[in-house]
Amino acid sequence: MARTRAFDTEAAVSRAMDLFWTRGYEATSVRDLTQHLGIGQGSLYAAFGDKDGLYRAALEHYRATLAAAALRDLTEGADVRTAVRTLLTERVRIAVGQGGRGCLAVNAVCERLPEDAATRRTVRDMQDASREALTELLRTARERGEIAARHDPYTLASFLVTFLNGLLVSAKITPDARTLEPLVDLALTTLD
């Protein structure tokens, strides 16, 4: 008779996400994972296949939780500048936390590409979702006269996603929100 899984896989994925986010993929061993999660190696392999499978699950968890929450926050009804400022400054606040661990998705790209096509797809999907949400926000803002009519919402959204990626890398180098937030103000001038 097959044994039932003796641990909460969702909680394990969340804890693994935190460990990968802090240490990175390469610096996190299977032993680190089993100790951090409080499970045996056999349980990890049975649930996730291998370290890579758990990493993929952690990236998906990140996408479904933190990345999705950021996009939901864009639709909270604030004016466009407030919404974009909040998005950018909140991402900075998270990225500078815990000594500057950055953004799990951006860290994954920096560490795993170009070899890891699955990571590329997952992160590209996250960025596409961000670009689409920002494009819609900016399109609506242009219709309401909140930004100049000369702006192409898609191009502006693409710039903001690219700017955010660079900002999140910078948060690892200089984990100080007070240093990075003035850059957000400068990026917002593109809405003028």
Q: Encode pLDDT of 157-168 as tens digits.
A: 999 999 999 999
Our CA angle for 175, 180, 183, nearest 5°, is: 160
pLDDT band at 173 (very low <50, low <70, confident <90, very high): very high
57-101 residue pLDDT tens: 999 999 999 999 888 888 776 799 999 999 999 999 999 999 999
**Which of 190, 184, 154 is closest to 171 using CA atoms?**
184
pLDDT band at 3 (very low <50, low <70, confident <90, very high): low
DSSP 8-state symbol, 101: -
Residue 52: C-alpha distances to residues 56, 77, 110, 117, 118 (Å): 6, 39, 16, 12, 10
Mean pLDDT of the chain: 92
Instruction: Find the largest Cα–Cα distance for the chain.
Output: 67
pLDDT for residue 170 is more than 70: yes
User: So what's the pLDDT on residue 1?
Assistant: 45
Report, as an integer, the average pLDDT of 32-38: 94
Q: Give percent of the chain with pLDDT exceeding 70.
A: 96
Residue 144 belongs to what H/E stretch?
Answer: none
User: So what's the pLDDT on residue 91?
Assistant: 94
- What is the number of residues in the chain? 192
Query: The pTM is what?
Result: 0.90
pLDDT for residue 127 is more than 70: yes
The token duo for 44 is 């990890």
pLDDT for residue 45 is more than 80: yes
User: So what's the pLDDT on residue 73?
Assistant: 82
User: So what's the pLDDT on residue 74?
Assistant: 82
